[in-house]
Amino acid sequence: MDTKSLIANNLKAYMKAAGKTQAELAEHLGVTQSCVSNWARGVNSISVEYVPGICEFLGISIARFFDDEQNGAADIAYACISLDEDTRAEVRDFIEFKKRK
């Protein structure tokens, strides 16, 4: 996968995991929503000046933003931190259930 596609995929995935919209990111960065949409579709590359703001907005490190192993344990843990306690308990129960199989 080329770098532009990797970044586009990561941007979409981390925005979804954080429950954020393109409009919210655009407002945070002071760019248009179509600019963010073009990044997310891999039409345009993200200028390096925006990367720290994107990572701050999404609550992730710059290294994570460029990571090509998006489905690793760290990403699953990151997605789980936004869950409420009852849902986290359900996830733990499911994991324990799968381990016993």
In tens, the pLDDT along 41-86 reads: 999 999 989 999 999 999 988 888 888 765 554 556 556 666 778 8
The backbone torsions φ and ψ at residue 19, rounded to the nearest 5 degrees and listed phi first, read: 70, 35
Q: Could you give the dihedral angle defined by the CA atoms of residues 49, 44, 24 and 28, in that order, rounded to the nearest 10 degrees?
A: 20
- Total count of domains within the chain: 1
Q: Please enumerate in sequence order all residues whose Cβ is within 8 A of that of 20, keeping only pairs 6 or more positions apart, or say none.
A: 57, 58
For residue 87, name the pLDDT band (cuts at 50, 70, 90): confident
Residue 32 is part of a domain; what is its CATH number?
A: 1.10.260.40
Q: Cα–chain-centroid distance for residue 68? A: 12
Q: How many CB atoms lie within 10 A of CB 18?
A: 17
The residue range of the domain holding 58 is 3-100
CA distances to 3, 9, 28, 55, 95 from 66, in Å: 9, 10, 20, 10, 28
Q: Is 53 helix (H, G, I), strand (E, B) or coil?
A: helix
In tens, the pLDDT along 26-36 reads: 999 999 999 99
The backbone torsions φ and ψ at residue 20, rounded to the nearest 5 degrees and listed phi first, read: -105, 155
pLDDT at 27: 98
Q: How many CB atoms lie within 10 A of CB 6?
A: 16
